[in-house]
Amino acid sequence: MDAMTADLQESEPKQAILHVCRREILRPIRDQILRLSGYEVESTCERQEAIEMFEAGPFALVLVDVEGQDGVEMAESLCADVRTIHPGQLVAFVCNWRVAFVSDCPDQVLRTEFDPEAFVTGVKGLLETS
């Protein structure tokens, strides 16, 4: 990266992401990956805390981890609440391919199977097209 690019990145405001992750062991890893990629990140494992954080927002993206089939209901409920508060909010689920076919709530589903590069590429792509 040249000095001009570094200066530009420092002067551009960082996009904020609310990361709601049901897996406490995975949350700090994903948060760090996002931070190292230039995003501001607030995160929680609790649905109610996520709503409170969202209300204090704003966020460019709400990223919701969906752990298995039982996580779909919580994620869809959170998505509906977020969209009630702010109808235009960009929401994406991070999940495996099976869950991706079950829900139509989010704007996008990132199917990464925990590939950090695919995760960041998916987030960047979402934010660039919104």
pLDDT, tens digit (0-9, with 9 covering 90-100), for 61-113: 999 988 766 678 888 899 999 999 999 999 988 876 555 555 555 556 665 65
The helix (run of H) or strand (run of E) holding residue 54 is helix 47-56
Q: What Å distances lie between residue 61 and 1, 70, 124, 125, CA to CA? A: 26, 23, 10, 12
Q: What is the chain's mean pLDDT, rounded? A: 81
Residue 77 included in any domain: yes
Residue 3 included in any domain: no
Q: What Å distances lie between residue 9 and 30, 39, 117, CA to CA? A: 21, 11, 20
Of the two residues 23 and 18, the one the predictor is more confident about is 18
Residue 24 included in any domain: yes
Q: Which domain holds residue 51?
A: 14-129
- Tell me the pTM: 0.79
Of the two residues 42 and 67, the one the predictor is more confident about is 42
Residue 37 included in any domain: yes
Q: What is the CATH number of the domain that holds 36?
A: 3.40.50.2300
Q: Percent of the chain scored above 70 by pLDDT?
A: 73
Domain count along the chain? 1
Residue 9 included in any domain: no
Residue 7 included in any domain: no
